[in-house]
Structure 1
Amino acid sequence: MKIIAMIPARYNASRFPGKLLKNLGGKSVIVRTYESAVQTNLFDEVYVVTDSELIFKEIESVRGKVIMSQKEHDCGSDRIAEAVENMDVDVVVNVQGDEPFIDKVSLEKLIKVFHEDTNQQIDLASLKVRMLDKADIQNPNNVKVITDVNNFAIYFSRSVIPYHRDQDFEAIYFKHKGVYAFRKNALMDFYTTPMTPLEATEKIEAIRYLEVGKKIKMIETAVESIGIDTPEDLEKAIKILKEND
């Protein structure tokens, strides 16, 4: 089974433009993410896929593997799908370009799903983390996920799901972490399917997979990702890097 990592890297992030090229302890954020993914030794190959010549040249400067998108894309899955369309691979793992502190243990869990799925019934695997703080649960920027008893995704929403109507029972809430592992054929099906109605309503790409009948295995992790979405996040990341040196 050939497993690769793809790191979608868009330059014009709305909240923090150019964040992937910001200095993080002597290296850019995207280079740190790329090198961290390589150093996990979980993947046969690691690529950055980007729409930016600046990011392309940045990865080339460290002799990394990088692909330039030929089309405009609305989401990371589409950008990755274009890049892998003609590659001979089995499983593609989407690593977030703005999360330089790779959670190797969680990635190992995702990959394990496909090694154990001998009948190839699982199309995707993704991560969920439990939420306890009421403000986090109610925050529409945190995508919530509910699953069946076998941990297959039922639905993703920016709304609070499940609704806690009966206070005699404990309600458990999970946030969806946007790290995916796809079978290549599921990714290509996504790529050739137009945006679906619920996906368009919620602006959550994972919903498209559900709407066309794909099975998403959700893996619980206790590790919160450290993403860089704002200048303040970058300062926190610099501090973490110094503490770990």
Structure 2
Amino acid sequence: MILGLIPARFASTRLPGKPLVDLGGQTMIQRVVAQARQAQLSRVVVATDDERILRHVHDFGGEAVLTRPEHPSGTDRLWEAFQQLGSPAEVRCIVNIQGDEPFIHPAQINALTDLFQDPAQSPDIATLVKPVVSEEELFSPHLPKVVLSAQGKALYFSRHPLPYQRQQVPGDWLQHHRYLRHLGLYAYKPAVLEQLTRLPVSPLEAAESLEQLRWLEAGYQIQCAETELDAFGIDTPEDVERARARLAAG
């Protein structure tokens, strides 16, 4: 069994009530659930901290659980939700699907779940990476980059372009190296997810503000799957308008 969990908080500094924002006649969380249901998932559940979101998900026929509001991260919210669902022993992996990506493609989710098909070879944690295609992406601190081992395991994540090319000017870096950026979709073994919630904030995480560095510092391996499909996260009112324009254009 592969379980898809979607953390959905009501509070947001830049966009309060974000999961309930209307996008072309459907709310954002409704669109995320619809996309996730097309992937190789046995069950899709929204983990929320707000009764309004809970009722709305139930109203459109989705499944949701109410979690405590004080969780410091989506990872902690996922673990509480999983416990509420009875922590079924047959769950092979839990996929953490961002609740603010209404255009997430089922193939992106499947790229991770495919890594868990063989229990003997399953990674502790898996995530997605995508080739960097522009200088704007490469140098944006809002789009974390990642460097991988020859086996596709993450060596480090950073908001700075990695590697630094000592012999090249920054404007030429993309011509001399294949850079990868990180997309915030994760999958974990249930036992590993529980362990991650017990880890304290690490020095590298504090420096870069990237939670996955906490896991690397603690010694966990993160297997990466590659996709050519982009992510479209919604954090601001401007993002909402861009999403509505994309839907209107078909």
Task: Provide TM-score, normalisation by structure 2.
Answer: 0.90
Structure 1 letter corresponding to 2:96? N
In structure 2, what is the equivalent of residue 126 of structure 1?
127
Distance 1:117 1:137 in 2: 35
In structure 1, what is the equivalent of residue 44 of structure 2?
46
Distance 1:48 1:5 in 2: 8
RMSD value over aligned CA atoms? 1.8
Structure 1 letter corresponding to 2:87? M
Give yes or no for the alignment of 1:114 onto 2:116: yes
In structure 1, what is the equivalent of residue 57 of structure 2?
59
Moved over 3 A (4+): none
Cα deviations across residues 122-169 of structure 1 (Å, max 9, x unaligned)?
111111111132232122111111111111000111122111113398
Quick one: structure 1 residues 105 and 119, their matched pair in 2 at CA, closer, same or farther if it must change by over 3 Å? closer
Quick one: structure 1 residues 243 and 186, their matched pair in 2 at CA, closer, same or farther if it must change by over 3 Å? same
Distance 2:39 2:188 in 1: 18
In structure 2, what is the equivalent of residue 206 of structure 1?
212
Q: CA deviation at 1:51?
A: 1.1
Structure 2 letter corresponding to 1:126? T
In structure 2, what is the equivalent of residue 141 of structure 1?
142
Structure 1 letter corresponding to 2:207? T
Identity %: 36
In structure 1, what is the equivalent of residue 79 of structure 2?
81
Give yes or no for the alignment of 1:34 onto 2:36: no
Distance 1:211 1:100 in 2: 31
Runs of at least 5 residues in structure 1 that lack an aligned partner in the other structure: none
In structure 2, what is the equivalent of residue 15 of structure 1?
14
Q: CA deviation at 1:71?
A: 5.1
Aligned residues: 241
Structure 2 letter corresponding to 1:105? A
Q: SS at 2:248's partner residue?
A: helix
Structure 1 letter corresponding to 2:12? A
